[in-house]
A and B are shown apart, each in its own frame.
Chain A
Amino acid sequence: MMAALLEIENLTRRFGGLLAVDRVSGHVGQGELVGLIGPNGAGKTTLFNLISGFTPPSEGTVRFGGETISGLKPWRVARRGLGRTFQNLRIFPNMTVFDNVSVGAIGAVGHSPWRSLFRGSRGEADAKAVSERTWAALERVGLAGQGHELAANLSYGKRKYLEIARALALGPRLLILDEPAAGLNDSETADLAAFIRGLHAEGMTVLLVEHDMTLVMGICQRVMVLASGRKIADGTPEHIRRDPAVLEAYLGGDEEDAA
């Protein structure tokens, strides 16, 4: 078995009387491509926020690369190498495509007013590192030709790649994609699937949080299933497809659509 890069243990989050995430444990190994699925309201987003530091856990711990990260602020978690995208696209609309992606690189390299002001050897080295990381991430997602355009002028599909590039510029050890296929048509989803597979083939560890089963089942090596805040299954896509608890949650449940 591969060494676990991300380990979560008995993670619990209560909002008043509501148990949004209930004693969830699991791991993502180095180099794995793992899916996290579940019907709406299953607790995927809360679990994501617990991992990325937006929400402190009520109980339990999150370990990343062997170190406990639960309780750390999001920017500290990010600097340890956790890159993420957002479900409802959060680009910086009034900044250029290049400047958007540079923010991830700045997060990795650090920001100091003194170095930007005096631009001595360290300041110049920082700026060069940010520029080069940004450029490499833009080239990786195929947006290098549009670096000078305002992000607001990009098409919806390209904004998704912009977000991924921004997370890549951080130089993440783990990339968490939050519902990347939302709002994409079938052919765009297929392109995205190929892109994610490509990243994984290059050695990137990816956690794909999805509402949509097809994308996850198509590309992930392993899938975790959440329902009502609990992890109800964890295994290969073939195993998940036949798991009665999963079928119950997705098909036997109330209004859930497995679109």
Chain B
Amino acid sequence: MSKRILPLVVALTVLVLVPALLQASGSGYLFRVSITAMIFAILAASLNFITGVAGLLSLGHAAFYGIGAYAAALLATQHGVPFLLTIPLAGVAAAIGGVLVALPTMRLVSIYFAVATLGTGEIIHGTLLNWVDFTRGPMGIPAIPSFKVFGLDLSGNLGSYLVVAVVMLASLWVLHRLTHSYYGNALRALREDDQCADSMGIDVVRLKGEVFAIACFFAGVAGALWAHTTGYISPNDFRFGESILVLAMIVVGGLGSLPGAVIGAVLLIVLPEALRPVGDVRMIVVGCVMFFSILLLPKGLFGEVSALNLVRSSFGGGWKAGSARQSIGWR
């Protein structure tokens, strides 16, 4: 496949084909499911950057999603900031939160790091729940304005879908460039053996801080999209369960694989909705799908090796040595 075709196919599917089908169906519910799937695709892609690519197991990702959602909701409802600004500001707020978490936990490894992120996740959730003066606590924040800017009303189903789709594609593009490059190689080396990477001249501490800042930025962006599209948020949207759901998405999709993270997110959002007709057993079916996909495909539905090969060959990411036929490095 030619180098430019695949990215174009992806963009046209997300921006034209899917919204056209949704519009034709006329179902607000299907729009809602699609928007949720895209928000979780950003979340999964950002957690994949930390956990799949750089190998830092984070169990508190929903907390940064929550920081972003609250930042956007408070800025929009109390200061009337338009969504074009709340989205990046929510990302910055979450990134600052991420760096504050990463700094003290930097020296921890593997399961110890995971438990520390679990703890920080609970701290942030507890803060959202109990700092009533600032966050309104369990009452949540209602009446968050939808997407409106310069008199342009994007608050309808199609408008909201397109805003979320554009932000998702931009987020995935950034994570794609960082993952599928020599920067990504440095992160993968950190995951494989951080001491060894250290003695190859890789600044491990700086990388860990950058990874957390970048990934939490996008978790915050996802939170802002959630706040603006649902119109109401409460601390219950950002609990441990959400962190685990996002973790399940990237494991089912394939740790370290960006397309895998997106596939995992779409699957675990769409599947439970698609199974509504089967009634009470639907979550058992979802559980079975997760269980058997891991049992049969431990590397994920779209594993890292296939993902990297695909990007090198079809997204123009590879570098070719003089005589070689196959792309191997990164451009």
Contacts and interface: CB of A to CB of B under 8 A. Distances in A.
Contacts of B183: 111-113, 115-116
Interface string B63-100: 00000000000000000000000000000000000000
Interface in B165-211: 174, 177-178, 181-186, 188-189, 192-193, 195-204, 207, 210
Given A106-B182, A150-B305, A75 B189 contact: no
Contacts of B207: 111
A102 B329 contact: yes
Interface in A146-175: 147-148, 150, 166-167, 170
A165 B219 CA distance: 38
B328 interface: yes
A130 B256 CA distance: 22
Interface string B287-331: 000000000000000001100100000000001010010101111
A99 interface: yes
A102 to B, nearest CB: 5
A123 B256 CA distance: 23
Given A127-B331, A130-B329, A148-B326, A95 B201 contact: no
A205 interface: no
B331 A124 contact: yes
Given A54-B195, A116-B181, A117-B178, A148 B201 contact: no
Interface of A: 52-54, 73-75, 77-79, 84, 86, 90, 92-96, 98-99, 102-109, 111-113, 115-117, 119, 124, 126-128, 130-131, 134-135, 144, 147-148, 150, 166-167, 170
Given A74-B195, A92-B188, A106-B182, 5 more contacts: A84-B199, A90-B193, A116-B184, A130-B182, A131-B319
Interface of B: 174, 177-178, 181-186, 188-189, 192-193, 195-204, 207, 210, 214, 256, 304-305, 308, 319, 321, 324, 326, 328-331
Complex A-B, nearest 9 residue pairs according to Cβ-Cβ distance, in ascending order: A107-B201, A116-B183, A92-B192, A78-B201, A116-B181, A131-B329, A90-B196, A98-B328, A107-B200
